[in-house]
Amino acid sequence: MTRYVARRVIYMLVTLFLIASITFFISKMLPGTPFADPKLTPQVRQQLFEKYGLDEPLYVQYVKYMVNVAQGDLGNSYYFEGRPVSQMILSRFPVSMFIGVQAVIFGIVVGLALGIVAALRHNTIWDTLAVVIAVIGVSVPTFVLGPVLQYWLGLKLGLFPIAFFESWWHSVLPSLVLSVFVISEIARFTRSEMLEVMGQDYITLARAKGLSGLAVIIRHVLRNALIPIVTVLAPLTIYLVTGTLVVEQIFAVPGIGEQFVTSVFVNDYSMILGTSLFFSVLFILALLIQDISYGIIDPRIRVHGAKE
Amino acid sequence: MTIEEMRMKYGVRRAPGISRRDFLKIGGTGLAGATLLGAVPGCGIFQKSGGGQGGGVGNSIALNLANPIKDLNSSSTTDSASTTILDNVTEGLYRLDPNNKPVPAQAESVQISDDGLNYTFTLRNGIKWSNGDPVTSHDFKYAWLTALDPDTANIYAYIISTFVKGADEFNTGKGSAEDVAIATPDDKTLKVTLLAPSPYWLGLMSFFTYYPQNQKFVEKQGNNYAQTPDALLYNGPYTMTSFNPTEGATLEKNENYWDKGNVDIQKVAIDIVKETATGVNLYETGELDNQELNSEYVTEYRDTPDFWSQTLFVTWWTVPNQKVPILQNENIRRALQIGFDRKALVDKLLNNGSVAATGYVPDGIAGPGGQTFREAQGPVLPEYDPQKAKELWQKGVEEVGENPTITYLSYDTSLSRDLSTFLQSEYEKMGAKIEVNVQPYNRALELQETGDFQLSQFGWIGDYDDPMTFLDLWLSDASFNTQNYKNPRYDELITAAQESTDLKKRMEMLLEAERILVEEDAALAPQYFEGEAWLIRPALQKSYVDHPYGGGWDMKWWKLEG
């Protein structure tokens, strides 16, 4: 197992190196420069380029950047004068993670319930209802749902705060909006997996041996249905954790998704690169955890080297 | 045998992989536990935003800055969010009063020589920084030289180097700091020599690039300067007690301010809410005391007591690049001026306090005597006339011999897109073939800078209260003139005005110059003078001051009535 993990870590580092290089060159190809001001003259632009080392040849900038990254220095933001990128990322990330994880957990619980009900009551009104709810959840965009909930639940009914992030209660609406997508995905997966598993031979055998319906569900059906959920969970978590721009904009939540998109629009080179690397590390870690979980949940998926 | 008997005989077999089931149990509990545990340190992530508290209570207010605070170092900053804060926690030699006229601030008086070139400022007694150090003339000299230093690469260095003798040479690397004509014979006296007399330079003392900095403090802070509230010194009506570049700041009345008796509002919570809908909702619940409106909301709130609007020193226009053969034709350019409905543009599309342009220099900018420039000049733009536009366009096409498709460069904001689409459809009615080219803001600026466009959307914010801030853009050798406009008579007038000591004659030259630019040469097609529309607490509205240049929100003058 340790050999497996070690090998995966090495792959991870190689992947990160490639990602850093690719995003570096792509960000240099973005039209425009970090300095967008209608009052900028070519002379001042040249002064700015010299100040930030942007007038050096590309390969020199590349080498300098990679050396810094290897030491953990992601440089300073071009947009926010003098602010270290790593500090800005780390200060905003917990917020996005909190909202995202909350959305995922809520989404899983509700999604599982919805999916189980739909599968058990297959071809009845409950099944159809659950599927309809799931499809609506996936179809309504967050930038519609967000302001609608903000207006009705926040302003009109005064149940929730409208914006900012000052208490747990402030996180409810943003998480709710994000969880809708999760609920739909989980519900549909759970339902179809359960339906498939329920038709298998070993389920019939278990029932023949006298296991009660509920026990059958929990011990056999659900466990097998969990695999596709685990597959989807890792990318889903990352997606939500990094904070959809829309939710953070609407609810004025100081998260990392909003910061990232702003940095792309203003050509904040160092912030773009730093955030991309950060996301990559998260995603690769999540995949690693996911693979290890597979091996434990389902012995049919033998992780190479686990036998050792 | 019944199932019951089978069970008895063979025993109930436990399902294999109980360890996995336990894993799931453990895993599930672990996840739930982690979240709960996350909630405990998670309490740390719930901070009070920069402000967030409702205003109008106990003489405190909450404002929406709407943009992140990029740089609080007055000698390098450029963005309006940062300068809004600096304008209230620092103070320059002079400040603009509610009528936008300069009044003594850190300086108590100034002597100007007869030729208008030598200024001698005397600083007030008792002015201090927030760390107890006195504010001295050296603080001003230090800050101004830092702003001019080529290593600082300050976009606004020109606000000093255009006026002060020796400054441009230092900024472009051709001269030294010692040759910049700023002298500090003693701690209370500052002497400056200008390149030419200027009626409006004194008003620029309220511009952030001219604010003082405490050299000892700045050098001690090094790279940390202006990053946190403790890494800044304050000599203005307010001090900053908390600060986050993306979430806002808190300002509190400065008890060491020389004029603190006239400062009414004790505490200002500054938030950053980018989404207009969210900001309006917050205003409705009392959590914000001001909020900018866009066109949809203007219609809704126009007749309520919370509505407030003013015009700014900002003009927007279409600029034709005269390297394009068809745009060299005067009839074509005249058609561009009169071929679109300015009033419809302003009333229907913008609907935010903006007014239709009547010339190039916007309303409100100072003119001769006590008049504004526009009052003295009158309208120099002919009215919207689609029929005449069509005739002129056809005439132009005949003279040039072709009617090519012309591209219109536009920004990728929704307003800019709508505006360029509107112009496209209007111009098509007169026979033009227009293709809209939408670019991200940065890229559009680049294209404008290199002259890589045919027609372009263009806007300019005045830096000071004088028509020169708009007119000098069209000198044939101006760095912003990438539209290939050349008129020797225009250059003569502007250059003479820059050097003139006779203020009356100077204004006449500027009025004449605008006539040449807009009426004679039709060098541009002005669209509108920009305005702004806001929701502002009625208790604040009477004293609300938002300077059209330099300053912005000037909270020293604000009072909460009733």
* Residue B285 pLDDT greater than 60, yes or no: yes
Least confident of A176-180, B12-16, B222-226, B247-251: B12-16
Question: Is A98–B71 a contact, with Cβ atoms under 8 angstroms apart?
Answer: no
The tens-digit pLDDT sequence of chain A (308 residues) is 677 778 877 888 898 889 889 988 887 887 777 777 778 888 888 888 888 888 888 889 899 888 988 888 888 888 887 788 998 898 888 888 888 888 888 888 888 888 888 887 888 888 898 889 888 888 888 888 888 888 888 888 888 888 888 888 888 888 999 888 888 888 888 888 878 777 777 767 777 777 666 666 666 666 666 777 777 777 776 667 665 777 888 888 888 887 887 787 777 888 888 888 888 888 888 887 787 777 666 666 555 444 44
Tokens of B256: 């060491």
Q: Collect all residues with Cβ–Cβ distance below 8 Å to B84 and sequence separation of at least 6.
A: B65, B552, B553
Distances in Å between the alpha carbon of B220 and those of A81, B232, B234? 18, 11, 16
pLDDT interval class at B435 (50, 70, 90): very high
Judge whether A136 is closer than 8 Å to chain B, CB to CB: no
| pLDDT for res A231 | 78
Over residues B81-94, the pLDDT tens digits come to 999 999 999 999 99
How many angstroms separate the CA of residue B285 from the nearest CA in chain A?
A: 7
As beta bridge partners, residue B408 has B436, B455
Question: Could you give the CA distance from residue B398 to residue B393 in angstroms, rounded to a whole number?
Answer: 9
β-strand partners of B104: B94
Of the candidates A186, A104, A185, which has an alpha carbon nearest to the alpha carbon of residue A139? A185
Measuring CA to CA, which residue among B98, B154, B227 is closest to residue B559?
B98
Strand pairing report for B118-123 and B102-104 = unpaired
pLDDT at residue number B179 = 92
- Mean model confidence pLDDT for chain B: 89
Chain B neighbors of A297, CB-CB under 8 A: 20, 23-24
State pTM to two decimals: 0.79
Q: Which residues contact residue A229 at a Cβ distance below 8 angstroms, ignoring those fewer than 6 apart? A: A108, A186, A189, A190, A193
Tokens standing for residue A272: 């773009």
Give the chain B residue nearest A203 (alpha carbons): B15
Chain B residues with CB under 8 Å of A249 CB are 274-275
Instruction: Name the CA radius of gyration of chain B, rounded.
Output: 30
Question: Out of A37, A147, A266, whose CB is closest to B78?
Answer: A37
User: Is some CB atom of chain B closer than 8 A to the CB atom of A50?
Assistant: yes
Closest Cβ–Cβ partner in A83, A150, A210 for B245? A83
More confident residue, B198 or B64: B64
Quick: pLDDT tens for B25-73: 555 655 555 555 445 444 456 665 444 444 445 689 999 998 889 999 9
- CA dist B73 and B221 (Å) reads 12
Where does residue B387 rank: exposed (0-12), middle (13-18), buried (19+ CB within 10 A)? exposed
Domains of chain B, first to last: 94-220 (3.90.76.10), 314-531 (3.10.105.10)
Kindly list the residues from chain B whose CB atom is less than 8 angstroms away from the CB atom of residue A36: 441-442, 445
Q: B310-332 pLDDT, tens per residue?
A: 989 999 999 999 999 999 999 99
pLDDT of residue B183: 95
Of B315, B355, B345, the C-alpha closest to B471 is B315
- Which pLDDT score is estimated for B144? 96
Q: Among A194, A237, A247, which Cα is nearest to A218's?
A: A194
Q: Do B17 and A79 touch (CB under 8 A)?
A: no
B448/B443: higher pLDDT: B448
Give the confidence band of B204 by pLDDT, cuts at 50, 70, 90. Answer: very high
Q: Identify the sign of the CA torsion B261, B267, B272, B276.
A: negative
Query: Per residue in A212-229, is it b (16+ CB within 10 Å) or e — as a string?
Result: eeeebbebbbbbbbbbeb
Question: CB burial class (10 A; 0-12, 13-18, 19+) of residue A151?
Answer: middle
Least-confidence region, from A160-169, A201-210, B159-168, B389-398: A201-210
Asked if A31's CB is within 8 angstroms of B442's CB, the reply is yes
| pLDDT value of position B555 | 94
Cα–Cα distance between A105 and A241 in angstroms, integer? 12
At B301 the pLDDT is 93
Contact A41 B154 (CB under 8 A): no
Residue B142 has pLDDT above 50, yes or no: yes
Between residues B182 and A94, the one the model is more confident about: B182
Which one of A27, A37, A81 makes the best mutation probe of the B interface by having the most chain B beta carbons within 10 Å? Answer: A81
Q: Which of B24, B278, B445 sits opposite A223 (nearest CB)?
A: B24
Minimal Cβ distance to A82: which of B45, B47, B227: B227
What is the spatial distance between Cα B329 and Cα B326, in angstroms, rounded to a whole number?
6
Cα-based angle B441, B447, B452 (whole degrees, multiple of 5): 150
B360 Cβ contact partners less than 8 Å away, ≥ 6 residues apart: B315, B317, B380, B470, B471, B514, B517, B518, B524, B526
Is B239:B89 a contact under the CB 8 Å cutoff? yes
Q: What are the b/e assignments for B449-461, b being 16+ CB within 10 Å?
A: beeebbbbbbebb
The answer to whether A50 touches A56, Cβ cutoff 8 Å, is no
Cβ of A290 under 8 Å from any chain B Cβ? no
Tokens 């992601």 identify what position? A74
Gap between the Cα atoms of A155 and B281, Å rounded: 7
B35:A47 CB<8 A? no
Chain A CB contacts of B445 under 8 Å are 32, 36-38, 40
Pull the structure tokens for residue B320.
């034709």
Query: Is pLDDT of B399 > 80?
Result: yes
CB contact under 8 A, B287 and A162: yes
Sign of the dihedral defined by the CA atoms of residues A268, A274, A277, A282, in that order: negative
Work out the number of other CB atoms within 10 angstroms of the CB of residue B16: 10
Name the residue in chain B with its Cα closest to that of A77: B70
- Cross-chain Cβ contact A31/B446 below 8 Å: yes
- What amino acid occupies position B56? G
Closest residue on chain A to B15 (Cα): A219
- Using a 10 angstrom Cβ sphere, with 0-12 exposed, 13-18 middle and 19 or more buried, the burial of residue A16 is middle
Q: Do B24 and A98 touch (CB under 8 A)?
A: no
What is the H or E stretch that residue A69 is in?
A: helix A58-70
**Partner residue facing A32 (CB), from B31, B172, B443:** B443
| Cβ-nearest to B278 among A79, A163, A262 | A163
Among B45, B46, B442, whose Cβ lies nearest the Cβ of A33?
A: B442
Residue of chain B with shortest Cα separation from A247 = B275
Which chain B residue has its CA at the smallest distance from A80's CA?
A: B70
Asked if A90 is an interface residue toward chain B (Cβ–Cβ < 8 A), one would say: no
How far from B214 is each of B157, B178, B219, B396, B550, CA to CA, in Å? 19, 19, 9, 61, 22
Listed range (A205-209, B202-206, B530-534, B536-540) with the worst mean pLDDT: A205-209
ipTM of this predicted structure: 0.71
Task: Give the mean model confidence (pLDDT) for residues B252-274.
Answer: 93
**Residue of higher predicted confidence among B148 and B54:** B148
**B interface test, pick of A33, A37, A44 with most B CB neighbours within 10 Å:** A44
Q: Which amino acid is at B502?
A: D
Beta bridge partners of B406: B434
How far does A14 lie from chain B, in Å, by closest CA? 30
The predicted pLDDT at position B33 comes to 53
Q: Where are the beta strands (DSSP E) in B376-444?
A: 405-411, 433-439
Partner-chain contact A36 B442, CB within 8 Å = yes
What is the predicted pLDDT for the residue at B533?
A: 94
Q: Does A230 or B175 have the greater pLDDT score?
A: B175
Q: What is the pLDDT of residue B12?
A: 55
